[in-house]
Structure 1
Amino acid sequence: MITDRKVINLLAMVLYEVINHRVSIDVAFKRACKGKCASDLNEREKLYELSRKFVSDYFKLLCVTGKKDLSLKKLARIWLKGINKRLTNPACELSYSEWFYNRIKELLGDEAYVLLKTMNERHWWLRINTLLAPEEKVLKMLDNEGVEYEIDKDYPFMVKIIKSSKPIRLLRPVKEFNAIPQDKASAVVIDALKPQSGDVILDMAAAPGMKTSLIMMLTENKARIIAVDISIKRLKIMKDLLKRLGVDLSRVYLVHGDSTQFNVRHADKILLDSPCSNSGAIDKDPGIKIHLSDGKINYYSNIQRSLLMNALKLKVEQIVYSTCSIMPEEGEYVIDYVMKNSRDLTIKLVKEIKWASHGYPVVKFYGNLMRLFPHIHGTEGFFIAKIYVSQ
């Protein structure tokens, strides 16, 4: 049994990795746990959940202690004893930076509280990989493992996990790649793209390949995809993943390149699921809270503008632009920028997914944009724009 002192040391090390090395909670836990955690799976999972909650409560701890110079071990001790102080400041109560809470409240009013509270809770989705197994078979496998789930009403291949006695990654269908942990928001993005058999699709930020594999699944391996990524390392990992998922690699062209400058002779559709702040994925990685800032959001916004401007130059009629972000700088304002700087093109925005929320009312055309929210749709926070382009 791991001792309290070891738990304190572990929590402090996880938070240190998140703060100083800017890694995800998963990477931080693996590094902190290496050679120190119990080999017992249940014990390890308890420590992981403790670590997640500790990192998520970082801003709450700063509010309670009123100090930023306390050691991480001291913070861990205080947290393990329990936070009994009543917090009247909603940013402190929900454990977000004051800046971030106020920014979301400017956009959503009182609804911001519900959204940010929901983002503190972990939600799990599985995508049934019909390239390898029919839906019925995978559902039976989940039944046999005692998993409680709901089949999604919009996409029958998406399953919301209600309860599982073991970590999702250790479920048999996941280990055999018959099911893939993937948020419903990703399915919505691809639904907006409407891929068809025979389509040539340019995926401008393809790695790790989850949306590429979903396109191939929905077209029964009959689309052709030009998958571009700036990281050759990620492309190599992507190739291995696609193979394991049953994707026909002869129909996927992996290209190492910079999509802000990339050119292509022909494509029917473009998918630009852009690099972003991941502010919509806090439920998956609470460490994201700690590093969100104006500077980080503006950094990604500039990349997104460059990527989308180049996509518009490629003379492709349909583009889907998406980000896992709840910030307008990575959504509405990016679309506004490219429209103002592409006067030679006729750009039409279509709200392809009717049940999605519309964009923030910070631009005139917000009603033609799409947003997904955790507290409304049970997904990660996402921005989606379906763009039709003509010369």
Structure 2
Amino acid sequence: MASIVVLRGVAEVTVSREAAAEVLRRFEESKMKQSLRSLIYGVIEEFDISDVKVRTSVFGLVVETVKRMNTVNFILQRVVGGKEKFRSLDPFVRNLLRVATLEVKINQSPVDVERKVYGLLLRKVGRDEAAEARRILRRVKTFSLEEALKRRSKLEKYSILYSHPSFFVKRVMDLLSEEEALDLMRTNLSSKVVWFRVNRVKMSVDDALAAFEKDGVHVEKDKDFPALFRLVDAEIPLPLTPYFDDRRIIIQDKASVATVYALDPRPGERVLDACAAPGMKTALISELMEGEGDLVAVDVSAERARRMERILDLSGVSNVKILVADSRTLKGEYDKVLVDAPCTSSGTFASSPEAKWKVNEKQIRSYTLIQKALLENALRLVREGGVVVYSVCSVFPEEGEEIVDSVLGKAELIEPNIPGEKGYDGFECSSRIKRFFPHRHQTNGFFIAKLTPA
């Protein structure tokens, strides 16, 4: 493996490109199982990158390359002569070529990427591999994607062009119209929407607005939920601001916030967050309870529970009890239960593009077994007249409408008082649940249902 070379005193973009390629090499080595965000932070620390612009550039190059992975891989495999030849390249070189192809072919960067890549590889892996990479990039520049896709089926063409797994393309084309499915995938590729909320336990909205104005953070206040904002632009990324570090603001998608408002937790109640980590929804539940009452946050993973404890402490949450347990077998009685169930994350491809390369049909089936068991036990845990909110960040009906329909003999639906729209046609629950879609609502894709025991 090529060693990491920290390039001092060279163009920022060269450092960004090298760091991005190293992140992608490690991501590929982990078989796409490691957290992309953790890998980015790890490489930034190793490279000792303190400049905000360079850090932002690394994030951008990595995320955009992963978003466009199908397109980038298709181009490079055709240019080098097939999948096996592409796989035989040095892992760092292969991933540097991915980043460079994004810049040259998709972003159409005016920078002389070919020359910069050659110079970088000359120092890292030697003249022969540097020269070969330069030849590959010259062919990438002249490669016609349109011509290469002419004889492909519609499904293959859309999968490559819009960079989504082919089974996902077929699924969303069956669920939505063809044009709307394309709109959804385009949004997953292009969306830069960032939602965040002011943590009113630690900072008032007025103080937050004053701080944003001072620091050049331009925002738009949401019309549906108090203290929720959409980022318009900022001089520095939100995760690098001091009020993110100490949790005065919490980056949280609008659909995720809507889930908690559907639950409507109130002071003095006994509330269970059944699948709580990483704790964003738990923190908002506590805020709406004004720190009064009993809040129990459960996660099956001890490591995730430890991380959640740190996040909740930093967020100023004082009325929470954290349990490491399986909520499918949990006992007790609660006024309200939130089941934000583990799922395929098929609604988060815009914000977490690595998720789309992990999902498959088998994974959907395995998740539905867990989801149904979680919801069934939640209905046993809630008192008579109490409320269960079931949610998943998925666009697949197997994880949403089908799960809720399966318990309607044991539960009744309550239409949640939140924005969104009805579910997919053909399901009993569809008219009384809420769905969010990236291309319609500028949020993650989400399914939210509110139930009470029958």
Give the alignment's TM-score, normalised by structure 2.
0.79
For residue 334 of structure 2, give the secondary structure of its aligned residue in structure 1.
coil
* 1:139 to partner: Cα distance: 1.0
Opposite residue 391 of structure 2, the aligned amino acid is S
* Residue 281 (str. 1) matches residue 348 (str. 2): yes
Give the aligned partner of residue 122 of structure 2: none
Structure 1 315/149 Cα, relative in aligned 2: closer, same or farther at 3 Å?
closer
For residue 83 of structure 2, give the secondary structure of its aligned residue in structure 1.
coil
Give the aligned partner of residue 245 of structure 1: 315
1:79 to 88, 102, 107: 102
* 1:38 to partner: Cα distance: 3.9
Opposite residue 420 of structure 2, the aligned amino acid is A
For residue 357 of structure 1, give the secondary structure of its aligned residue in structure 2.
coil
Between 57-66 and 44-53, report the one with greater CA deviation: 57-66
For residue 405 of structure 2, give the secondary structure of its aligned residue in structure 1.
helix
* Residue 193 (str. 1) matches residue 263 (str. 2): yes
Contact 2:62 2:99 in 1 (8 A): no
Q: Matches of residues 286-365 of structure 1 in structure 2 within 5 Å?
A: 286-316=353-383, 317-339=386-408, 343=409, 345=410, 347-353=411-417, 355-365=419-429
* Residue 203 (str. 1) matches residue 226 (str. 2): no
Contact 2:414 2:432 in 1 (8 A): yes
* 1:177 to partner: Cα distance: 2.0
1:130 to 178, 195, 200: 200
* Residue 387 (str. 1) matches residue 387 (str. 2): no
* 1:382 to partner: Cα distance: 0.7
* 1:302 to partner: Cα distance: 1.5
For residue 359 of structure 1, give the secondary structure of its aligned residue in structure 2.
coil
Structure 1 350/244 Cα, relative in aligned 2: closer, same or farther at 3 Å?
same
For residue 347 of structure 2, give the secondary structure of its aligned residue in structure 1.
helix
* 1:39 to partner: Cα distance: 3.6
Give the aligned partner of residue 140 of structure 2: none
| Structure of higher RCO (CA pairs closer than 8 Å, 6+ residues apart) | 1
Q: Matches of residues 115-264 of structure 1 in structure 2 within 5 Å?
A: 115-120=184-189, 121-248=191-318, 251-264=319-332
**Cα deviation digits, residues 27-63 of structure 1 (max 9, x gap):** 2323444533644221121122111111111111233
Opposite residue 26 of structure 2, the aligned amino acid is E
Q: What are structure 2's unaligned runs of at least 5 residues? A: 1-9, 88-93, 107-143, 151-156
Q: Matches of residues 32-111 of structure 1 in structure 2 within 5 Å?
A: 32-36=43-47, 38-64=49-75, 65-66=77-78, 67-69=82-84, 70-71=86-87, 72-73=94-95, 74-83=97-106, 85-86=145-146, 89-109=157-177, 110-111=179-180
Structure 1 234/145 Cα, relative in aligned 2: closer, same or farther at 3 Å?
same
TM-align CA RMSD: 2.2
* 1:188 to partner: Cα distance: 0.5
* 1:81 to partner: Cα distance: 2.7
Contact 1:11 1:54 in 2 (8 A): no
* 1:149 to partner: Cα distance: 0.7
* 1:387 to partner: Cα distance: 0.7
Q: What are structure 1's unaligned runs of at least 5 residues? A: none
Q: Distance in 2 between matches of 1:381 and 1:267?
A: 28
* 1:190 to partner: Cα distance: 0.8
Count of paired positions: 382
Structure 1 348/172 Cα, relative in aligned 2: closer, same or farther at 3 Å?
same
**Cα deviation digits, residues 208-229 of structure 1 (max 9, x gap):** 2111110111121123211111
For residue 407 of structure 2, give the secondary structure of its aligned residue in structure 1.
helix
Structure 1 21/111 Cα, relative in aligned 2: closer, same or farther at 3 Å?
closer
Q: Distance in 1 between matches of 2:231 and 2:18?
A: 32
Q: Distance in 2 between matches of 1:3 and 1:142?
A: 27
* Residue 367 (str. 1) matches residue 431 (str. 2): yes
Contact 1:199 1:224 in 2 (8 A): yes
Give the alignment's TM-score, normalised by structure 1.
0.91
Mark the structure with the bigger radius of gyration: 2
Q: Distance in 2 between matches of 1:198 and 1:355?
A: 26
Contact 2:13 2:54 in 1 (8 A): no
* 1:3 to partner: Cα distance: 8.5
Opposite residue 372 of structure 1, the aligned amino acid is F
Bigger share in helix? 2
For residue 258 of structure 1, give the secondary structure of its aligned residue in structure 2.
coil
Give the aligned partner of residue 36 of structure 2: 25
For residue 450 of structure 2, give the secondary structure of its aligned residue in structure 1.
strand
Structure 1 369/50 Cα, relative in aligned 2: closer, same or farther at 3 Å?
same
Contact 2:224 2:419 in 1 (8 A): no
Contact 1:142 1:173 in 2 (8 A): no
Q: Distance in 2 between matches of 1:173 and 1:77?
A: 34
1:13 to 22, 33, 58: 22
